[in-house]
Structures are given as C-alpha cells and as structure tokens.
A and B are shown apart, each in its own frame.
Chain A
Amino acid sequence: MPVLARIFETAGLSTLLVTNMPFWAEKIGVPRTLAVEFPFGHILGQPHDRQQQMRVLRRALEVLEEATVPGTIVHFQERWPIPLEEALKDCHPEMPPPIAAHMGRHIGSFIRGLRRASKQAQKD
C-alpha cells in the first residue's frame, strides 16, 4: 500500500493511507498516513459499527486537509475495544497461509539469514 500511495500521488492525486503499520509508511515514505492500532483486516473498525468506522474516516479526512509536509503520520488515539488474545484470533485466518508451512520447512536457513542480517546491521 505505501508504494501504491506514492504512485497515485505522483499521478497528481492527493492520497491518504490508513494502516496499522506506520513502520512501513515511514520507511517507504508515504505522503499522508493515519496510523490505527486496529487488527489486520479491520482497519476502519468492526463490522456494522458505523460510528467507529466514521470516527476513523473523519480523522482521516482531517489529516488529508491538515497535512502540509510530505511524510506526515498521525496516530489515531482510539484503542481497539477487544482484548488482545481475542483480537488476534479475529484477525488471523483459521488456516495459516501457505508461506507459514514453507517457512517452517526452511526455518533454519531463515534464522541464519536473520542472524547474518542482524550482525551486519550492528556493523552498519
């Protein structure tokens, strides 16, 4: 999504990204971002909770109006109303994605790669 925001903005459109991963918005450089601490798949709120969805959207429109600097990230102040354990269950699929099993088979080399990257990062 950060990449798409940049493509649309470059095409002459004013964009606003709503995401629960401002980490990537910052790293990749998104023009305007509203960060929400909501679970995956529920970025604007819970199903049929019109008020909650509207609160996020109204804040998003304000950010679009008020941002003056490229790379603006505003943090939405509302917390997800469901306890973390239940929220995790809600946002993750029942069956893990195929990449999970694939990673399971290659976990050794994956961890070695992480360690190498970690050491490199420390050197840098």
Chain B
Amino acid sequence: MEVDSFKYVSRLVTRYYKLTSVEAELPIPWTPLARPLSQSSFGLVTSGGLYHKDRQPPFDLERERREPTWGDPTFRIIPADIDPVEVGASHFHINTDHVEEDMNILLPVQRFKELAAEGRIQGQADYAYSFMGYQGFPADLTGWRETYGPQVAEKLTAEEVDCVLLTAA
C-alpha cells in the first residue's frame, strides 16, 4: 500500500498543492547514524502547535485571525518530563482535542521514555520542541529557514542529540 497524501485534504487544496512548483534543492542532506540506536540520544520535534500551558504564550493565533495568510514561525520548548495536563495546543488547522488528551500522538515523550527503558534507544533530550505547522498561504518558510530552524538545531546539538524524530501535524 502506498500512502495517499491527499486522503484527508479537500479537493481544491489538493489541486493547488499538485500545481505548486517546488524544486528540491539537491543534494538532499545526509548525516549517517553515528552509532547504534541503543547508544543514541533523541530529540523530538513536532509541528502540532504545542506549548507549555501557563508558562508560555500559545502560538500567535490572534495575528493569524487578523492576517489569515500569515502563520506564526516561532517555536516552543517543552520539557520531556512535562505533566501531560500542562500541554496545550494552538493550531487553527487541526482538531487539537485529541493531542491535548494525549500528547504522544504528536510528541511521543512518554513512548520514548519506554523505548529507552527497554534499551531500544539510549534516551531523549531533556527538552522537545514544537512549531506550528501553518506557515501562511502560500507558505512562507523564511522564518523557519533563516531563524527558528537553525535555533532549534543549535539547541539540539547543545543537548548532544544524535537523532531527531520529526512528527508533522
């Protein structure tokens, strides 16, 4: 079975996406695994619009409401040992009820704790990161490319992470 990218996308948006011309920048970057996963530390990153309730502001949905073609390019830092009830989600484009009920469907910090306990991986960084996937229409990825993506890369590197699992929302 081949995954249908448009199974959950409206016909109009599907048509738009298929006509969008994007050229992959070649070569595709490649970092071979440095060591077996059992000795590798992981960083987790999602685009689910998650944030630490009461300690961080949600993503800027008010501006998106005023300027619907704009999306907040910033990120939030989520402690891997966060109490799940403190996880909020701000994202106009997905139903956030389920991820607020169980963050592991987008940011699997508890599953990774279990994978570390059984020795499948060495462990995970103390902090995970969330972006909010809607970057405007048409998407403007300048903020991610030039500012916020490199900032998170720097943080993950400082935490001596070997591998990163990214989960799209």
Residues of A within 8 A of B (CB): 1, 3-24, 26-31, 35-37, 39-48, 50, 53-54, 57-58, 60-61, 64-65, 70-71, 75-77, 79, 84, 87-88, 90-95, 97-99, 101-103, 110, 114, 117-118, 121
Write out, one digit per residue, whether chain B residues 6-32 have a CB within 8 A of any chain A CB (1) or not (0): 111000000111010110111111111
Contact check, B156 vs A13: say whether CB atoms are below 8 A apart: yes
The smallest C-beta distance from A34 to any residue of chain B, in angstroms, reads: 9
Q: Is the beta-carbon distance between A53 and B105 smaller than 8 angstroms?
A: yes
Option from B99, B108, B166 in Cβ contact (under 8 Å) with A57: B108
Q: Name B's interface SS.
A: loop
Q: Please name 11 pairs of A and B residues whose Cβ atoms are closer than 8 Å in the assembled complex, sorted by A.
A: A1-B131, A15-B31, A15-B166, A16-B164, A22-B3, A43-B168, A44-B104, A57-B111, A71-B28, A91-B8, A95-B92
B residues apposed to A, CB below 8 Å: 1-8, 15-17, 19, 21-22, 24-34, 37, 43, 45, 47-48, 64-65, 68-69, 91-96, 98-99, 101-102, 104-106, 108, 111-112, 114-115, 120-121, 131, 133-134, 137, 141, 144-145, 149-150, 152-154, 156-157, 161-169
